[in-house]
C-alpha cells in the first residue's frame, strides 16, 4: 500500500487528489475517485452556501469516504467556505495569495485546508497561514497555471522549505510520473487531465474524443482563452487544436451553456471548458489539458484509473528500492 503523510492526515487510502475542474469535474467524478480510495474534489467556486451544500451532498450520496471542495480566490465568499468546511474533509484553495483568515474558517468548520501554489514564496506563505497540506503546481498542468517552474523544480524547493505534506501537480498522468514525484518527496499527486476521460466525467464527449486523440505535445501553454475568465490574464494549459479552431472562427460566439439558471452564450476564447450541458462548436472552446493528456488513451471508470496508477507506482517504487539497495 502506498501510505504517505497525506493519506494518513486526510484518512484516504491512496496518495491521489483529484483536481477540482470547474464544471467538467462534477460530484460524480469526485465521488468515484473517493470511492476508489483517493481524495475526490469538486469545484464549488462562485456558488451560494446553499448551493455548496447541495453540491457536496451529491458526493455524499455516492460515497461515505472523504472528499474535498475547491475554491478559486477571485470568486471566494467566506460564508460559502464555512458551508463547505461543515461538509467536506478538505477545503482547497487556488489562484490567490494564502489567506490565514480563510484557513481559520476552514478549521473552525472542522475540515483540513489545502492550497495549490505556483511558487516557493506562496508555499511558505501557505504553511504560515496554517494550511494542512500544499500542492505544488508545475507549468505542465492543464487549466490555469499559477507559476513559472516545472513541477519537479517547484516540488523539490517546496519539500525542502515546509514541514506540511506537499503534493505535486501538473502533467502527472501515469504510474511512472506518480512514482517519480513520490520518490522525490511528494506525499501524493493532484491530477486533473488524466480523469477528464473517465466514465464519470462531465466533460463534453467531443472534448473527451479530442483528449484521447491528443499526444503530450498537443498540450500548449496559451494566454488566449481569457474572455469572461475571472482568472485572466493568465497562462493556461490547453489543447493546441482549440486555440487553432477558435482563431479560425469568424463569429464572436461559439455556443450556449444550458445552465440551471438560464441559457448563457459562450464567447469566442471564453474561459469555460466544454461540459455536457454546452452545445456549439466544442472543438473551438477552452479544452484545457496538461501534458498528461498523452496518458489519456481511452474512456475508463475513474476507479480503474486510480488502481492502475497506484499499482503501477507501487511496483516501480519496489523495483527502484531493490535496485539501489
Ligand atoms: C479542465 C481543467 C479545469 C481546471 N479547473 C480548476 C479549478 O476549477 N480549480 C482549481 O483549483 N484548479 C483547476 N485546474 C487545475 C488543477 O488544479 C491542476 O493544477 C491540474 O489539473 C494539474 O495538471 P494535470 O491536469 O496535468 O493533472 C483545472 C485543470 C483542468 C485540466
Q: Which residue CA neighbors atom 11 of ligand 1 most closely?
A: 94
One digit per residue, pLDDT tens: the chain, 325 residues? 799 999 999 999 999 999 999 999 999 999 999 999 999 999 999 999 999 999 999 999 999 999 999 999 999 999 999 999 999 999 999 999 999 999 999 999 999 999 999 999 999 999 999 999 999 999 999 999 999 999 999 999 999 999 999 999 999 999 999 999 999 999 999 999 999 999 999 999 999 999 999 999 999 999 999 999 999 999 999 999 999 999 999 999 999 999 888 999 999 999 999 999 999 999 999 999 999 999 999 999 999 999 999 999 999 999 988 888 6
Sheet containing 90-94: order of strands: 16-18, 188-191, 166-169, 133-137, 112-117, 90-94, 67-72, 40-43
- Ligand 1 centroid – CA 166 distance (Å): 17
**What is the predicted pLDDT for the residue at 318?**
94
Is any ligand 1 atom within 6 A of the Cβ of residue 201?
no
Is any ligand 1 atom within 6 A of the Cβ of residue 192?
yes
Q: Which residue CA neighbors atom 30 of ligand 1 most closely?
A: 143
What does the block give as the cell for 287?
479544452
Q: Which residue CA neighbors atom 13 of ligand 1 most closely?
A: 21
Q: Rounded distance, CA 182 to CA 280, Å?
A: 41
Domains of the chain: 5-200+295-324 (3.20.20.70), 205-293 (no CATH)
Pocket test for ligand 1, best of 143, 186, 271 (most atoms within 8 A of CB): 143
210 burial level (CB within 10 Å; 0-12, 13-18, 19+): buried
Is any ligand 1 atom within 6 A of the Cβ of residue 274?
no
Pocket test for ligand 1, best of 18, 19, 90 (most atoms within 8 A of CB): 19
Is any ligand 1 atom within 6 A of the Cβ of residue 188?
no
**What is the predicted pLDDT for the residue at 261?**
85
- Ligand 1 centroid – CA 191 distance (Å): 8
Is any ligand 1 atom within 6 A of the Cβ of residue 22?
yes
Q: Which residue CA neighbors atom 31 of ligand 1 most closely?
A: 142
**What is the predicted pLDDT for the residue at 324?**
83
Are 186 and 14 spatial neighbours (Cβ–Cβ below 8 Å)? no
Is any ligand 1 atom within 6 A of the Cβ of residue 170?
yes
Pairing assessment for the beta strands 188-191 and 16-18 based on DSSP bridges: parallel
**What is the predicted pLDDT for the residue at 1?**
78
Sheet containing 219-222: order of strands: 143-145, 235-239, 219-222
Nearest atom in ligand 1 to 193's CA: 25
The DSSP secondary-structure symbol of 270 reads B
Amino acid at each position: 500500500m502506498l501510505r504517505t503523510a497525506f493519506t494518513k492526515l486526510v484518512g484516504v487510502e491512496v496518495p491521489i487528489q483529484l483536481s477540482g475542474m470547474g464544471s467538467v469535474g462534477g460530484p460524480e467524478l469526485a465521488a468515484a475517485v473517493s470511492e476508489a480510495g483517493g481524495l475526490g474534489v469538486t469545484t464549488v467556486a462562485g456558488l451560494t452556501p446553499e448551493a455548496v451544500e447541495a453540491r457536496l451532498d451529491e458526493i455524499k450520496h455516492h460515497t461515505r469516504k472523504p472528499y474535498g471542495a475547491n475554491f478559486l480566490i477571485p470568486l471566494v465568499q467566506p460564508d460559502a467556505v464555512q458551508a463547505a468546511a461543515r461538509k467536506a474533509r478538505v477545503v482547497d484553495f487556488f489562484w490567490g495569495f494564502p489567506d490565514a483568515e480563510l484557513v481559520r474558517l476552514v478549521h473552525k468548520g472542522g475540515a483540513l485546508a489545502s492550497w495549490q501554489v505556483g511558487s516557493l514564496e506562496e508555499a511558505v506563505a501557505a504553511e504560515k497561514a496554517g494550511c494542512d497540506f500544499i500542492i505544488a503546481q508545475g507549468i505542465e498542468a492543464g487549466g490555469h497555471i499559477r507559476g513559472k517552474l516545472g513541477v519537479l523544480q517547484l516540488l523539490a524547493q517546496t519539500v525542502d522549505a515546509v514541514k506540511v505534506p506537499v503534493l505535486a501537480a501538473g502533467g502527472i498522468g501515469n504510474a511512472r510520473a506518480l512514482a517519480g514525484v513520490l520518490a522525490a518527496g511528494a506525499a501524493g499527486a493532484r491530477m486533473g487531465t488524466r480523469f477528464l476521460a473517465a466514465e464519470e466525467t462531465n466533460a463534453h464527449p467531443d472534448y473527451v474524443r479530442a483528449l484521447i486523440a491528443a499526444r503530450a505535445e498537443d498540450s500548449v501553454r496559451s494566454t488566449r482563452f481569457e474572455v469572461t475568465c475571472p482568472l485572466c490574464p493568465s497562462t493556461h494549459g490547453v489543447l493546441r487544436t482549440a486555440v487553432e479552431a477558435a482563431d479560425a472562427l469568424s463569429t464572436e460566439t461559439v455556443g450556449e451553456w444550458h445552465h440551471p439558471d438560464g441559457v448563457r452564450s459562450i464567447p469566442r476564447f471564453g474561459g469555460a471548458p466544454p461540459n455536457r450541458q454546452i452545445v456549439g462548436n466544442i472543438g473551438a472552446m477552452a479544452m484545457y489539458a496538461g501534458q498528461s493528456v498523452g496518458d489519456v488513451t481511452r474512456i475508463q471508470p475513474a476507479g480503474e484509473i486510480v488502481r492502475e496508477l497506484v499499482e503501477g507506482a507501487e511496483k516501480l517504487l519496489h523495483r527502484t528500492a531493490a535496485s539501489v539497495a
